Amino acid sequence: MTIGFHQKDFLLAVEGLTVSFDGFKAVNDLSFYVDENEIRVIIGPNGAGKTTVLDLICGKTEATSGSIRFRGQELTRMTENQIVEAGVGRKFQTPSIYDDLTVFENLEISYPRGRSVVGALAFRRDAAVRERVEAIAEMIFLKDRLDINADLLSHGQKQWLEIGMLLIQEPALLMLDEPVAGMSVSERIKTAELLKRIIKNHTVLVIEHDMKFVEDIAHKVTVLHQGQILSEGKMEKVKADPKVIEVYLGH
């Protein structure tokens, strides 16, 4: 395959991605590439299409045109659960967890086994599951909360739980939509710590507004504006870009 050869090093290759809602192009001819083990942060003003990009990658929104290749697989033609199985995990902006289930059960559902109907009926909670859930729970500071219902958690703890639910899936690409939004200062610090630990052995695509946090973790930054890339590169370079200063960083 000569066409695809230059992509083969990339974990994720987005090319010519466009989506239009009744004529409004929320994402317009967007292309970017993410390396294995890279931490990529997407920033940009509200309405720039950041969340839509994540929606497109994980299959929540259907692309009008363009391609998203992940480890050589074309994601635009796959269903959401196939995309998850291919190794893409997605955290939503507002914590999306199951309030009526316990923390343990929340994590267990994300454990990558027994995902078919028959598999779910036959699923047993064995030692491997229990160990894994406990290990993740420790990581997300919820080890002593395993048995309580998730609706009793604080907002920050719910965010952690959802991150934990992603981790237990063991995705090759983690996508996080504003992971520290709405957190208290102390929760924010703990989350930053948690994320720094996670990103050591994952490829991560993050949307974030907290510039200090972005500077801390980002390998590369992509600035979106009106569905297109305004600037891309190392944080220092992006920060110095006059276009970026004008539409985003300036205020």
Partner 1 sequence: MTDNPRFLSRGELLAMAVLALLLVVILPLALDIFRLNLVAKYLTYAFVAIGLVLCWGNGGILSLGQGVFFGLGGYCMAMFLKLEASSVENTKIQSTPGIPDFMDWNQLTALPFFWQPFHSLVFTIVAILVVPALFAFIIGAAMFKRRVGGVYFAIITQAVAAILTILIIGQQGYTGGINGITDLRTLKGWDIRTDGAKFILYFVEVVLLFGCILAAQFIRRSKLGRILVAMREKEDRVRFSGYNVANFKIFAFCAAAVFAAVGGAMFTLEVGFMSPSFVGIVPSIEMVIYTAVGGRLSIFGAIYGTLLVNWAKTSFSETFPELWLFGLGALFIAVVLAFPNGLAGIWRDHVQARLGRLLSRLRAGSTKTGWAARPGAGSVADGAAAE
Partner 2 sequence: MFGDYSLGDLGAIFVMQAFAGLILFSVFVLMALGLAIIFGQMGVINMAHGEFMILGAYVTWLTSIVFQQYLPGLYAGYFFIAMALAFLAAGGLGMLVEWGLIRHLYRRPLDTLLATWGLSLMLQQAYRSVFGAREKGVELPPWMMGSKQITDTIEVQINGLFVMALTVLITSAVAYIIFRSRWGRQVRAVVQNRIMAGAVGINTEKVDRYTFGLGCGIAGVAGSAFTMIGSTGPTSGQLYIVDTFLVVVFGGAASLIGTIASAFTISQAQSTLEFFLSGSMAKVLTLLAIVGILMLRPQGLFALKIRK
Residues within the interface to partner 2 (CB under 8 A): 21-22, 26, 52, 55, 61
Classify burial at 167, counting beta carbons within 10 Å of its beta carbon; exposed 0-12, middle 13-18, buried 19 or more: buried
Q: Which residue has the tokens 């709405």?
A: 182
Closer of 7 and 64 to partner 2 (Cβ): 64
Closer of 22 and 126 to partner 2 (Cβ): 22
Neighbours of 42 (CB within 10 A): 25
Considering only residues 21, 120, 135, 234, which one is a binding residue for partner 1 as defined by CB under 8 A? 120
From the list partner 2, partner 1, none, which binds 22 (C-beta under 5 to 8 Å, kind-based)? partner 2
Closer of 96 and 228 to partner 1 (Cβ): 96
Cα end-to-end distance, the chain, whole Å: 46
From the list partner 2, partner 1, none, which binds 61 (C-beta under 5 to 8 Å, kind-based)? partner 2
Widest pairwise Cα distance in the chain: 58
* Strand order across the beta sheet in which 88-91 lies: 88-91, 173-177, 203-207, 39-43, 220-225, 228-233
From the list partner 2, partner 1, none, which binds 26 (C-beta under 5 to 8 Å, kind-based)? partner 2
Contact between 140 and 163 (Cβ < 8 Å): yes
Considering only residues 124, 200, 212, 251, which one is a binding residue for partner 1 as defined by CB under 8 A? 124
Considering only residues 80, 144, 215, 246, which one is a binding residue for partner 1 as defined by CB under 8 A? 80
Strand partners, 12: 34, 70
Pick the closest to residue 244 from 4, 37, 36, 43 (CA basis): 43
242 is written with which tokens? 């006059």
- Determine, following the binding rule CB under 8 A, whether residue 117 of this chain makes contact with partner 1: yes
- Determine, following the binding rule CB under 8 A, whether residue 61 of this chain makes contact with partner 1: no
Minimum CB separation of residue 52 from partner 2 in Å reads 7
- Determine, following the binding rule CB under 8 A, whether residue 104 of this chain makes contact with partner 1: yes
